[in-house]
Structure 1
Amino acid sequence: NVGFSGGERKRFEILQALLMEPKLLILDEPDSGVDIDSLSVISMKIEELYRRGTSILLITHYGRILQHLDPSILKVHIMKDGEIVMSGSGELVSEIERRGFQKIFEECGCDE
Structure 2
Amino acid sequence: MTDVRDNPAMRSSVLVTMADTVPEREIVEVLGIARGSVVRARFFGRDFIAGLRNLVGGEVTEYTKLLADAREQALGRLVRHAEQLGADAVVTFRFSTSTVMEGSAEILAYGTAVRLK
TM-score range, shorter chain: under 0.3
Q: Which one has a larger percent strand, Structure 1 or Structure 2?
A: 2
Report the TM-score when normalising by structure 2: 0.23
> Whose helix proportion is higher, 1 or 2?
1
TM-score, length of structure 1 as denominator length: 0.24
Pick the structure with greater CA Rg: 2
